[in-house]
Amino acid sequence: MRVPEEYERAMRIALVEAHAARETGDVPIGAVVLDATGRIRGRGRNRREAEHDPTGHAEIVALRQAARELGTSRLDGATLVTTLEPCVMCAGAALTARVARVVFGAWDAKAGAAGSVYDLLRDGRLPIRTEVVGSVLEAECAAPLTDFFADR
């Protein structure tokens, strides 16, 4: 499957956010939310360490910003683009926000909830499901994480 250029462009912006997260000692993960027209409505980077916030994941930060900008908690038609496969908390937030799709770069074999460890986003037992597109710029998204953890 050919990945739409729109997703690659958004992922490159998410990567900029990921690199900025590392500057504050946070795990380098970045995210953006695109509205149904492809316009960026939210940006986020991990802020757990910077803000002493256990919910300060890049995806949560981006979803909150998009919801504030759009004036609604329902992000119908939106796309969440993130450099790492979302965890259970972030996948749950994406479902609650009613995003249409989640696009991610690197897979998370330890805590991923979009197909690797769990598949919360497409779980037929839930009343809400979303499209999942993985491995977008996978190597570029994995590299900052590998470097970050190698330094520890």
User: How many residues are present in the chain?
Assistant: 152
Active-site choice (5, 8, 17, 59): 59
23 has catalytic annotation: no
3-state helix, strand, coil in the chain (%, to 5): 40, 20, 40
Check the annotation: does 87 bind a ligand: yes
| Kind plus residue range of the DSSP H or E element containing 82 | strand 79-84
Cα-based torsion angle of the residue sequence 65, 71, 72, 75 in order, rounded to the nearest 10 degrees:
-60
Check the annotation: does 90 bind a ligand: yes
Rounded Cα distance between 36 and 118, Å, is 27
Rounded Cα distance between 9 and 39, Å, is 11
Check the annotation: does 52 bind a ligand: no
Binding-site residues, in ranges, read: 57, 87, 90
Q: Which residues are catalytic?
A: 59
User: Per the annotation, where are the binding residues for Zn(2+)?
Assistant: 57, 87, 90
